[in-house]
Structures are given as structure tokens and as C-alpha cells.
Structure 1
Amino acid sequence: MSLTSRAALSCHPSTPEPEVDSIEATVSLQDDGSLALVYVLCGRTDSLDIPRLRPPVFRDELWRRTCFEVFLKPDAGPAYREFNFSPSGEWAAYGFDDYRVRNAWRPDGEAATVFERDGDRLWLTARLPHAFFAKAAGSPQMRIALSAVVQNSDGRLSYWALRHPAGKPDFHHPQAFAAVDDALIFSKEGTGT
């Protein structure tokens, strides 16, 4: 039996995107220890710049176009991991020792992603093997930051997140993370939206 939570992402007020009505993320811890993520974007998808399908390889700088992201960190300590998923099928993963201090960690293996589009709805499903985030855990409690970058057909980017810290969009900021208990229920404590 998997454990599941669902959350709505909000657009950063400095980057409004009227073509997107909503983005919702569902996170499920599977019986095999893997983490399944489903992002659903609703809106006028023909007005968005969606990367075309490519081989599902590791690629840097996916955040420069439409992509979906998850950040995972232990409740204690500053280290965390970032995972990016493009509708193209490409993906990326990074380790950080502290806020925006990248380390040499690279995952051993591949993330599996599936992208679907139907009218005004886009779905991106990703699965992370347990080994990708197990060592990032380090404590029984985890924190999670869910986010998305959406590029419209004019090239403008909007930034969506579970929580936005004050100031400019910053998915790495500690206030972007929400507490996750053993049942993957999102906590309402802390600051941000």
C-alpha cells in the first residue's frame, strides 16, 4: 500500500501566467521505497512552450524551459537533493551540502518519466528509485519542496511552488520546504505560501 499526498502549487506573484489555471502535484511513497510524483497542469496548453520528446537522458539546465521539480532534505541539517523532470523525457539530479552549495553527487541509475497531453491538461509522472534519495534522508523526518517552471510561447517564465519565500522566486530557499511526516502529509507550519 502506498502513502500519498496531494498539493496545489501557486504561481509566484512576480511571474504571473494567465494561461495556466492550476498546477497540482501528487507525491506517493511506493511499497518498494521509490517515490512517485505526478504533476498536472491545467490551462491553455497551446499557449505554452512545451519541450518536444527526446531520449530520456540526464541533461543540465532543464529549468530554463518548462520543467517540474522536487527537492528533498532531512529535517535536520542543510544538505538536500534536487530533481528536475522535463516533458521532453530528460531529467537531472543534483546534491547540495548547503543552500545552493552543490556537491559532486550524481545518481547511479535513471529516473523514469512519462509525459501526456490531452487538450487543456498536461501530466508528467516521474519515479525516483529509493537509492536516489535514501542517503539524502539522514533523519526520520523529511522536508520537501515541489515546484515547476512554465515557459509560455513568448518565452516568458513563470515560477510555481508549494511555498514561496519572500522576495524573488527561489526554489532552493529553506522556506520553500514543507515538513513531511511518515505518511507524507504536508505540514502547515512555517512561513511562505
Structure 2
Amino acid sequence: MALGTFSLICHPQTPAVGVKSLRVEWEARGDALVLRYCVGGAGGLVLPAPAAPERHDDLWKTTCFELFLGREGTTYQEFNFSPSSRWATYGFADYRGQSHDADMPIAPVIAITRAGDEAVCEVRLPRAILDGAVCAGLTAVIEEAGGHKSYWALDHGEGRPDFHKRSCFTLQLAAAEAP
């Protein structure tokens, strides 16, 4: 079931240098959730070196694609996907409260491809991660040549970039999956 394509917005306090666009294609296929993060104007995009596909912290320090899933109340889960194939997931009881490593029933499969001036990072996840989620935030940290970073999200709200704000979780999952 295709849930759609969503355009991310670059935070105005961190304008991109060469990256022109970032969209996320969200598709549920059988027991898999497939996210494709498509970066337009990716000529200067910095990609981390390929690595073993394992859990790793601090992935957001360079190019990293992210998913936030909000649950009822204030709980939420953060997923980080590095083009290197490393990943992480954290659970939070409240906004930026004490985090813990969250369980991943099956490790995500992450692949990066480049075609012309576009880079696509495809992430395949177990669809079961959506169980109990009511909303989602799609985000990315983009590093370009020279160490310049820009922050992309469906919505940023007020102030500095902060993907953990519930106001950034604008994709309503029940509505997105309705026929």
C-alpha cells in the first residue's frame, strides 16, 4: 500500500548550500515499510563510509535520515538511518527525556544509490514498528562539502531545529492509511 511522497523543508536558520530538495517516499509492502529519502542537488553531499549494518550512536553528526513515531500520550521512538548502513533506535517517555535503546525486531536494510545529481537512501524496515504509532515525523540531517549541515523536516515549528518537538510529527498515520 503506497502512503505517499512527502517533501521535507530545510530549516531557515540552516540553509543548504547545493541541496535543492529532499522528499521521502513512504510505502508499506506486506510486512515491510519502505522509506526512500531522495536528495536533489546532491553533488556536494557528504556520505559516511560504508560500514557493517549494526546499531551505532551519534549517526546524526553527519548525513543521516530519520523517522520519529509518536505514540498515544507523550511517548515516541526515534530511528536514525545512516547511508553507511548503520542504524539506531531510541525510545522516549517524554520530550527529550531519558532515552533508552529501543528494540528492533529485524534490523533495517539501508542502501544508498546516486544517479546524476540525486542520491537516494532506501530503508526497509519491519512494518510492525508502526504498531501503536499515531503520528510520524520524517527528518534528515544533511552534510555537504566543507562540513556545512542543514536540517530538514516535514515541519519545524518555532525556534532552532529540533526534530524531537511533537509539533514536527505532522504525518497522521491513521489518516494516511485510510482508504
- What's 1:9 paired with? 8
Taking every aligned residue pair, what percent have the same amino acid on both sides?
A: 38
TM-score normalised by L of structure 2 = 0.91
- What's 2:54 paired with? 57
The answer to whether 1:173 aligns with 2:165 is: yes
SS of 2:4's partner is: strand
Change in 2 beyond 3 A, CA 1:182/1:3? farther
Aligned counterparts of 2:33 and 2:79: Cα–Cα separation in 1: 12
- What's 1:26 paired with? 25
Residue segments in structure 1 that go unaligned for 5+ positions in a row: 186-193
Aligned counterparts of 1:80 and 1:63: Cα–Cα separation in 2: 18
1:12-161 aligned at under 5 Å gives the runs 12-32=11-31, 34-43=32-41, 45-74=42-71, 76-101=72-97, 102-134=99-131, 137=132, 142-161=134-153
Aligned counterparts of 1:35 and 1:183: Cα–Cα separation in 2: 14
Q: CA deviation at 1:107?
A: 2.0
Change in 2 beyond 3 A, CA 1:119/1:52? farther
Q: Is the 8 A contact 1:5 1:184 kept in 2?
A: no
Give the number of aligned pairs.
176
TM-score normalised by L of structure 1 = 0.85
Q: CA deviation at 1:182?
A: 4.8
| Amino acid of the structure 1 residue aligned with 2:173 | V
Q: Is the 8 A contact 1:85 1:113 kept in 2?
A: yes
Question: Cα RMSD (Å) of the superposition?
Answer: 1.6
| Amino acid of the structure 2 residue aligned with 1:25 | V
Residue segments in structure 2 that go unaligned for 5+ positions in a row: none
